[in-house]
Amino acid sequence: MRQIIETEGLTRVFHGRRAVDGLNLRVAAGEIFGLLGPNGAGKTTTIHMLTTLLAPSGGRALVCGLDVSRQAAEVRRRIGYVSQEKGVRHLLTGRESVEIEADLNHVPRRSRGQRVEEVLDVVGLLPDADRFVADYSGGMQKRLDLACGLIQVPELLILDEPTLGLDVQSRHRIWEHMAGLRDQGVTVLLATNYLDEADRLCDRIMIVDVGREVVTGSPAELRRTVGTEVVQISAAEPDKVRAAVEGAVPARRIAVAGPRELHVHLDDAAAALPEVIAATVRHGVVLDGVSVSRPTLDDVFLLHTGRGLRDLTDAPAPSPAPRSPRAGTAAGSAPPASHAGLRLRLQEIGALLRRWVLQLGRERLNLAFTLIQPVIWLVFLGGAIARAVDPGVVGTGDYIAFMLPGVIAFTIVGTGISGAVPFLWDKETGYLNKLMSMPIGRSSLLVSRLIFQMALGALQALAILVVSAILGVRVATAVPGSLLVLLVAGLLTTALTALFLALACRVPGHTTFFAVTGFVSLPILFMSNAFVPVPAMPTWMGALARANPLTYAIESMRILVIEGWRPGLAGHLAALTAFAAACLGLGVHQFRRHTVGGRE
């Protein structure tokens, strides 16, 4: 039998503590294999290693015959993964979410619509497909995550507690679907702490505890390790029942358990039940009642660990240790060199851009304030300060024209900061992990975000140029110069987004991110020539402004707006380009480190 998962001594250590400790897992093609264990047993950590999200600290793992450490990108192409975490899709509809997921999984465009309908139907969300995810209940969001995970039919489907928090009806529907997948030849690895789920669905189960294997086998085999099953018979004359049953069934033991109760111990009570009843009928015994009791998986866990699985699982979960949001293997996903590879990368970038654009379109208030704020600066502050400003100092009688590049820069610093925020949310909610387990290029994640931000920055600059034109500002370099202003704005946005993304990779959470950005954003602006020209500043401030890359972006826009084409422009543009290249380098480095480099 071909093995789809094979691990040898698989181990993961977190801060000196073994979360997974020498696991030897064998999952054969076409089986539903359950990983059953209490909270903190190491199920998710095992899954993270198998899905290439986490580098093993020891041992090795083969998935579909591929080494998870050395062939991570290829492994990701062969598996489907439904994680425990919910994706952040509040501003999308259910259907849009699944469509985007389909594109990220390279589902061909021609079959996408049908596939999306199918998976929404499986999880029972078809009637709600066009509602916003924000309006879904917790269980519906969970089902949506499941639909996203089922979008492609992979060789191996890995599900981490897929029915957690779902109602009975939804759970049964999902179990049926999983059984159907097995019939199609899909291998399923299912982590669960629901005993009934493991019992009903899995061909084989490994019970794990504190990172180690407790016991492995089919549910029936595991129950047999506990002992026999029991047919409990209630009748007025138990001795007569005993005489009837003796010899009729292969009982291991028959015991009178009370004045009206007889226990028949068998290996397979359900199979023997008809014969037990037939034998009593033949002997003319009247039965009050018959029931079968089987050892549960909880009994199995109890036998092997001395503790009840149910007690541990039902107890409130210990507060989870802060997880390293992402720790990958050394093998990244090098973009395929072929033409087909490029097409896939473009499909991914298109899907991610669609996500950003849909979300922005629905955050209208945010969009409106982003555009209103610079107008306030231009109209009120520009208009008021203009009267108090010496035209000899600012080099023009039109202070609004002078302020225009500063207002663009001001807006873009905010855009650069907010550009890193979706990455932070994805990181904190675990959706980044989900993205990382898909066969998408790491570069697509970064490139799509930077393209989106560049376009957003240029659009904001365009809006500011339009408002200033209404206020009477005439750009000295006319349309070509205005286009160059938009390009400078786009480049600056990309640079700042990359810089703040690098910061987002480094900080432990959004609180630190906002504390740092709140601290640096205003000094960056005021230590530049945004509102006062460098020659008019005190010497120390002028030195700081000259070291501030924002100054070069503002100066190049100011030359284009006020002075016209002049040779100094090239130097400022070169300085801005060098700054952008450095920020991109830093952003790519930190992003790769965060998403590719293994860490504890």
Ligand X SMILES: Nc1ncnc2c1ncn2[C@@H]1O[C@H](COP(=O)(O)OP(=O)(O)OP(=O)(O)O)[C@@H](O)[C@H]1O
In the complex, the residues that contact ligand X under the rule CB under 6 A are: 14-15, 19, 37, 39-45, 193, 317, 320-321, 323-324
Q: HEC string of 218-231?
A: CHHHHHHHHCCEEE
The length of the chain, given as a count of residues: 600
Shortest reach from residue 90's CB to ligand X, in Å: 24
By C-beta, is 288 or 314 nearer to ligand X? 314
By C-beta, is 370 or 433 nearer to ligand X? 433
Q: HEC string of 483-534?
A: HHHHHHHHHHHHHHHHHHHHHHHHCCCHHHHHHHHHHHHHHHHHCCCCCCCH
Shortest reach from residue 44's CB to ligand X, in Å: 3
Shortest reach from residue 425's CB to ligand X, in Å: 18
Residues 6+ away with beta carbon under 8 Å from 11: 18, 20, 21, 22, 23, 56, 57, 58, 59
Cβ(33)–Cβ(197) below 8 Å: no
By C-beta, is 45 or 448 nearer to ligand X? 45
Q: Tell me the torsion sign for CA atoms 100, 104, 105, 108.
A: positive
By C-beta, is 233 or 505 nearer to ligand X? 505
| Number of neighbours of residue 243 by Cβ within 10 angstroms | 16
Residues 6+ away with beta carbon under 8 Å from 387: none
Shortest reach from residue 97's CB to ligand X, in Å: 23
Shortest reach from residue 154's CB to ligand X, in Å: 21
By C-beta, is 174 or 394 nearer to ligand X? 174
Measure the CA–CA gap between 430 and 88, rounded to whole angstroms: 9
By C-beta, is 20 or 244 nearer to ligand X? 20
By C-beta, is 46 or 228 nearer to ligand X? 46
Shortest reach from residue 21's CB to ligand X, in Å: 10
Measure the CA–CA gap between 441 and 392, rounded to whole angstroms: 54
Measure the CA–CA gap between 504 and 512, rounded to whole angstroms: 9
Helices 568-595 and 549-558, packing angle to 10 deg: 140
- Read off the tokens for 560: 């284009």
Q: What is the DSSP string of 269-283?
A: HHHHHHHHHHHHHHT
Measure the CA–CA gap between 175 and 194, rounded to whole angstroms: 12
By C-beta, is 241 or 312 nearer to ligand X? 312
Shortest reach from residue 76's CB to ligand X, in Å: 20
Shortest reach from residue 37's CB to ligand X, in Å: 5
